[in-house]
Amino acid sequence: MIDLSGRVAIVTGASRGIGRAIAIGLAAQGAHVVAAAREDHADEVAREIGAAGRKAEAAALDVTAPGGADAIVARTIERHGRIDILVNNAGIARDQLMLRMKREDWDAVIATNLTAAFALTQAALKPMIRQRFGRIVCISSVVGQSGNAGQANYAASKAGLIGFAKAVALEVASRGITVNVVAPGLVETDMTRAVTGKARDEWAAKIPLRRLGTPDDIAAAVCFLASDEASYITGQTLAVNGGMYM
Ligand code: NDP
């Protein structure tokens, strides 16, 4: 059984959707969760976790803000003395066909989905190396593996996370730190709720398991990769996509 008692976890984009489920899932397994999102957006999930008798605190973090990664890591070390688990989950999409894609939409997606993972991972690695323990999980996407028309920026950011995780995994494996990726398929969240009607039915029809994923489906994979049971797994991408891409 997964037991994360005594572990301290930072989850970005914890206010909604997949990140919220990951924060709740890690806390349910005993971790103290630093739930991060912009402004006070993660306050509610932190309160909810506390009300369930588990441990969490909210942190205001815009992952694209200069110095934000160092600040949240420093605050976590000051309060808890360690960081065991980092989940790079915050993400955005700004879809457009390549010929019409604006440079600002490319930059925003790369900054939020990829560069933020660089900054947070770099900041968290220092205490993890000192501890000789760490679990880093990046949330990619099926689109980073398969590509998707209209998502050149998003697919590049999500494929980038896969290469990033492998490179960092090789660098820090000898220090007891694992770096893995979870690649969700289509999951019911605000990000996908915008798609309705026929387009949604067409999506669902492409999924062999015949349903969209839930945030809890993704959280379960993250909890596993964060656990002691996954200590021999690093540099891997775990697809949680109902079979839509194998
Ligand atoms: P949502 O849109 O539901 O939530 C996005 C989360 O990211 C929010 O918590 C939001 O926080 C946070 N966020 C966005 N921008 C920033 C920022 N600049 N700084 C800090 N936090 C930010 O998304 P999902 O839950 O659907 O997606 C979560 C992750 O999973 C993303 O990386 C996404 O790409 C990936 N994914 C999602 C899939 C899906 O089908 N839903 C499929 C595959 C991958 P705030 O409250 O501050 O806005």
Backbone angles phi, psi at 68, to 5 degrees: -65, -40
CA of 224 to the centre of ligand 1 (A): 20
Q: According to the model, what pLDDT value does residue 193 have?
A: 84
Distance separating the N- and C-terminal Cα atoms of the chain: 28
- Ordered by start, the domain boundaries in the chain are 8-240
Backbone angles phi, psi at 215, to 5 degrees: -55, -35
What are the tokens at 93? 């999409």
Considering 106, 154, 164, 224, which one is annotated as catalytic?
Answer: 154
Distance CA 75, CA 139 (A): 23
The residue nearest atom 36 of ligand 1, judged by CA position, is 141
Whether residue 218 contacts residue 181, with contact meaning beta carbons closer than 8 Å, is answered with: no
Q: Ligand 1 within 6 A of 18 CB?
A: yes
CA of 174 to the centre of ligand 1 (A): 31
Residues of the chain falling short of pLDDT 70? none
Distance CA 74, CA 82 (A): 10
The residue nearest atom 2 of ligand 1, judged by CA position, is 191
- For every residue of the chain, DSSP letters joined together read ----TT-EEEEESTTSHHHHHHHHHHHHTT-EEEEEESTTTTHHHHHHHHHTT-EEEEEE--TTSTTHHHHHHHHHHHHHS---EEEE-------B-GGG--HHHHHHHHIIIIIHHHHHHHHHHHHHHHHT-EEEEEE--HHHHH--TTBHHHHHHHHHHHHHHHHHHHHHGGGTEEEEEEEE-SB-SHHHHT--HHHHHHHHHT-TTSS-B-HHHHHHHHHHHHSGGGTT--S-EEEESTTS--
Q: Ligand 1 within 6 A of 92 CB?
A: yes
Distance CA 48, CA 164 (A): 33
Distance CA 243, CA 161 (A): 21
CA of 239 to the centre of ligand 1 (A): 18
Q: Ligand 1 within 6 A of 146 CB?
A: no
Q: According to the model, what pLDDT value does residue 206 have?
A: 87
Q: According to the model, what pLDDT value does residue 1 have?
A: 87
Q: According to the model, what pLDDT value does residue 198 have?
A: 77
Q: According to the model, what pLDDT value does residue 7 have?
A: 98
How far is C-alpha 112 from the geometric centre of its chain's CA atoms? Answer: 12
CA of 191 to the centre of ligand 1 (A): 7
Q: Ligand 1 within 6 A of 191 CB?
A: yes
CA of 13 to the centre of ligand 1 (A): 6
Burial (0-12, 13-18, 19+ Cβ within 10 Å), 211: exposed
Distance CA 89, CA 137 (A): 8
Q: Ligand 1 within 6 A of 222 CB?
A: no
Question: Where does 8-240 sit in CATH, by number?
Answer: 3.40.50.720
Q: Ligand 1 within 6 A of 55 CB?
A: no
Residue 245 a catalytic site member: no
Q: According to the model, what pLDDT value does residue 21 have?
A: 98
What are the tokens at 120? 């947070």
Q: Ligand 1 within 6 A of 157 CB?
A: no
